[in-house]
Each structure stands twice: as structure tokens, then as C-alpha cells.
Structure 1
Amino acid sequence: MDPSGPPRAAESPPRAGSDGGLRAQAQAWTPGQKLEYLRSRNVGDCTRCKLAKTRTNIVFGVGDPNARVMFIGEAPGADEDRRGEPFVGAAGRRLTQWIERLGMKREQVYIANVLKCRPPGNRDPAAEEIEKCSPFLRAQVRAIRPAVIVALGRYAGMLLIGTDQDLKLAQMRNRRFTYDDAGAGLQIPLHVTYHPSYVIRREGELPPGQRNPADDTVMSDLERALRVLRS
């Protein structure tokens, strides 16, 4: 990992004991301690799939461990791979704008990706990579226990919905799903919307000065998702 990357969580992970003792200890850990244990001990310097050979940094996640809103994208891009932090390039700036338009700060939410390593050339995540990496994401959700999850992009949506069908994003957005983790007793409202990169690409196809309808669509989706916080 790049020592110039983002700092570690403020809360250090407790020392590990036996498996049974560790499980008992973990019940009393804060979300921050759980995330730090997951990042440092479970993910570590992961070599579980071929992306380990081409990445620069593992991109774990960033934000408030006690966040009520969790944004989940698909995979790191070049900027994220270089800095070791999700959503820091152009897509990250757009996501930050959306969060601020919702009346929040980026530091108040938690942001992660399905994959923790960048696929070469920013290609779509492969099924084997999702299979190897998704347990880390599910553990992040269990630690944070957000009130609502927003999936950014088709692959994030399909994974979190829990479907084997190859769905288009248009089939998933404008609906409320439930992220279900029976083992952790979690049923979390889940909304799917476009990835910021898609919205930016659409913008480049429009005449100069024309309002981007995809941006308005995402804001509508996000406002619908956050109604659960106000109910």
C-alpha cells in the first residue's frame, strides 16, 4: 500500500485472540474498529484474484463508520488506484456534488466499491473478481449497518439485489429493493441509480450549455432513496 495514501481509521483494531474469543470480542467493537480490523487483517495485502498483479493500491472505503447512507460503486478507476481512495477523480467530484445537493457532506456518508482493486483499462468487473471480493463489501455493510444503501451502476445493483439475472440499470432504478443479509439480521432499503461516470459521458454527448437529463434523473433517485431518513 502507498504510504502517501489515505490515513488509517482513528480506531485501532483490537488484538486478535482465539477465533471464539475474537468473535465474542467483536460484538462489543465499534463500527470503526470492525472496519479497521477488516481492512488491516482480513483484506490485508489481498492476492485472492488476478487484479492483485496489476493494481497500485487496494481501495478499501472511506467515510463515517456510523454513516446512515452508504454509496457503493463498481470498481476503482485510475485516480482511485493511484490514491487508494474510492471516488476521487471526475466521478468522485460529481458524487460529492450530489451529496452536497442533498444537504450532506461527503464525510457524513460511507463510500465503497464492489471491487477493491482496479480492473485494467477500467473494464467491467469479472464474475470471478466479484465472487472473491464481494465478501469484503458485505462485511463493510455489516459493520456500518446503514439506514439506506445507494448502488451506483449496474454491477453494484445486481450484486446487492442478489439476482443472477443480467439486468439493465433501467430495470433496477426507480424502484426500492431490500439488501438482505439474514446472517447479520439486516434488511436495508436499497436504491440503484446511474454511476457518475455514465452521467459525465452523457454530458459530453450534449450540445454546450444543454442541461443533462441524466444528472436530474440521479438526483431524483437519490432524493427518493433518502426519504427513508426522514420517515
Structure 2
Amino acid sequence: MSDTLPDLRTMSGVLFDLDGVLTPTAEVHMRAWQAVFDEVFDRWGIEPAYTDDDYFAYVDGKKRYDGVASLLRSRNVEIPWGAVDDPPEAETICGIGNRKNAAFSASLRAEGIAPYPGSLALLEQLRDAGIRMGVVSSSKNAEEVLGSAGLRDFFEVVVDGVVAERDALASKPSADMFAAGATALGIDVVTGAAVEDAVAGVASASAAGFATVVGVDRGAGPDVLRASGATCIVDDLARLLPTSTSETA
């Protein structure tokens, strides 16, 4: 596998994950999940304690409820799934997921969000080159985050958690979401590119057939991103700018 970085201006189109790729909202998500799972684990006596490693292994990149179920299953805990309109205090998968979403939304409204500078620079360059772009995010907050960060106008399509629920798309690492993104954007996966920081997202893009899958290492680790299907690794999207002289993270 080559680590020579692709020139995304030569692609038919590019699909980006959002949290941790374009904006540092992954950090906001991580804090919200930590607060919710710390409370749940303490109240239910679940061990071992929740850690950042759990976030990357079981939650990152997946649809919200799938992440809750995956994490609890790792501790041999099974609870009712519930319904998407469960109140945040409900002791169900959906209730816990909605509790986390309330914490995330409150933080986003209070603090706002700005894009990573390197990511913004790359988007501007690709826009100026006429490259078609879309977002593929498991989050149901993608539209709100894109609007808050001033990024929405860069993208023709957004395939997010809302779309996934509406169209019954399986959660990453299934190919469904990136395949749907490619179809919506009207690009060929062989000549397009996907950019992801989550292990599940990299696996999703690879499963969808993308020949170019850029792994962005924000904490998952380069080895696990490669093993999941990343064709190259960077630690900042600024490294994908043609003026960058660095080829690997």
C-alpha cells in the first residue's frame, strides 16, 4: 500500500466524514459520551470504566443508537432498544442515545464550532478546482454542525444519520452510507475519494469500493486505520494541499 498522497483535484468527487475530519466536533461528541456513560456505568455498577479507547472501538463513526448498543454489548449488558422518541431519561438504547444528543446539542449551542484550518483550506481549493463534494456522517446533527461551522455551501449532498434512518441505510462499517453518498453525488468510487477519521468509516468507504480512502488520524491510530482499508494516512487535511511537502503523517 502506497503512502503517496493523492491530489484530490484529480478526483471525480470527494466524500468527507464530518466530525474529526472537517470540524473538531469529535471532541464534543467524546465529552458528551463520556459524561453519559460515566453516569450510566456508575449507576448500574458496570465495569471496567468507560474510556476513550471504548469511544474509538465501539462508538466512533457509527449511528448513535448502534454505538450505544455496541458499547453496552462489550460489557455484556443488554437492555431494550426502545424507540427514537424515547425521553433522555429512558433506560433504553434510544433513551441513552437521546441523552447523549441533548448533551452534545447543548454544548454546540453554547460553544459553537469552527472548522479545522487545514480542512477549510482544502475545501476552498477543491471548490475552486470545481471538484464535487459531499458529506457522509453518521451524526443526526450534521446539518446543524455544517451550518454552525459555515461549511454547508461547500457540499452538494449530505448523507447523515437522518438520511440513514429515512432510507434504512446500515450503520458504518457497512458500505451503505458511502455507497449512497457516491450515488447521490453522481461519482464513480474508482475515480472518487473518501476521507475519514473513524475506523468504522474507513471500513465503510473501503467496503463501498473507493479506490482512494484517506485516513485522518485524530486518535484512532495509523495501524488500525490501514488495517480497516485506508490507502494513505494524514494527521491534518492541510497535508493534502499540493503545496505540502509531507507525504505521510
Asked whether the two chains share a fold, i.e. TM above 0.5, the reply is: no
**TM-score normalised by length of structure 1:** 0.30
**TM-score normalised by length of structure 2:** 0.28
